Amino acid sequence: MSNLVSVRGPHARNTSNIIRIQWNMGNSCNYSCEYCPPILHDGSKPWLSKQQYIDAITRLSTHYSSLDKQTEYELIGGEVTVIPGFEDIIKTISEHNSSSIVYSNASRTVNWWSKAKQYMDRVVLTYHPQTQDSEHFKSVINEIKDYVHIDINIAGISGDVLRMGEFAEEVRDLFKDCDHNNYNMVSICVKTMYKKLLGRQNKQETYWEYTAEEQEVLQRPGIKAQILPERIVENIPGAEYVPEPEPDPNAWMTEFLYDDGTAEYVQSHQIIDKRLNSFQGMRCHLGFESLNIDASGDMYSSWCGALNFGNIADDKWSLPQTKTTCPYIFCNNISDISITKTLN
């Protein structure tokens, strides 16, 4: 039996000079989904002021720029788009030559998205079938798809998964003839769901129970296999059909390397489903590839909370000097899972 020797997420494999800052900006949300615990939506951790966010972004971007690193901010909540002045916050990120990934339920008006899209680089939209209007969700996608890179998650609630599989194809059809987001390569996933997430360090209830048909939908790759047409070089004597280079389907998957020399490439949403999220005893590169900020402004190496670097309001915060040995049985946050892990 082969043994795992390293894990590398797409971030580490493709963007080595980028520091990813995942920021939980607060826990206010305009939805209250049954599978989402109150700590993620009840407003008990209020938003900071717009100026506090802007000042922190300025300090962090300036700091990492001095280390020749570009800063990528993943903005999560709660529902971050309802933060007062959120458009100015993402504008500040753009002005510092940093990039943003905005996680959202797409509930803001289409008019709001039309104004905010110019400051966004990427959005991850989640469709919650128990709460959302599907036509509004699709209208938001149509508004921003030619300006912003989009990934889409669909909550796979037991009993509704087959319908969500059909909805995923409806959503993909919106990307036909879209230049900014490739029809085949845009990631649209129906996700396996816990009955209720309870927080960090392995504390969650069990998965929903799914039928065999539902499991098939949940295990579908979010990215379609792509066969690109050949293009002809016109008006050149002796011109021949030249095949377009095919994108590497593994490039944006997490890589699992084993001691027998084999490698497995898994999409993020399938890692937990395949039970590949156990790294206890391995050396985790947390703090070297990413930084996490909680709703209070405390900075951590990752969402598991293994290391604390201080608070964004404190000038004395510092970065780690060595890799950290993972103390936990399971890693349950997709961003934490994608951080590089090695045996030494």
Are the C-beta atoms of residues 218 and 209 closer than 8 Å to each other? no
More confident residue, 40 or 90: 90
The pLDDT value given to residue 228: 41
Residue 339 lies in a domain: no
CB 82 within 8 A of CB 28: yes
> Is a pLDDT exceeding 70 seen at residue 29?
yes
Average pLDDT over every residue of 270-279? 87
Q: What is the pLDDT of residue 112?
A: 97
- More reliable by pLDDT, 35 or 85: 85
For residue 213, give the CATH number of its domain.
Answer: 3.20.20.70
Nearest to 336 by CA among 282, 273, 285: 285
Query: Is 50 exceeded by the pLDDT of residue 227?
Result: no
Residue of 290, 292, 294 whose CA lies nearest to 48: 294
Does residue 216 form part of some domain? yes
Q: What is the mean pLDDT of the chain?
A: 85
Whether residue 231 has pLDDT greater than 60: no
State the Rg of the chain over Cα: 21
Whether the predicted pLDDT of 116 surpasses 90: yes
83 neighbors 26 (Cβ within 8 angstroms): yes
What per-residue confidence (pLDDT) applies to 150?
96
The string of pLDDT tens digits covering residues 148-192 is: 999 999 999 888 999 999 999 999 999 998 989 988 889 999 988
Domain count, the chain: 1
pLDDT band at 207 (very low <50, low <70, confident <90, very high): low
pLDDT > 80? residue 288:
no
- Per the structure, the complete domain to which residue 37 belongs is given by 17-238+285-321
How high is the pLDDT of residue 239? Answer: 44
Reply yes or no on whether the pLDDT at 15 is more than 80: no
For residue 203, what pLDDT is reported?
A: 52
Which residue is it, tokens 């590398």? Answer: 8
Residue 220 in domain: yes
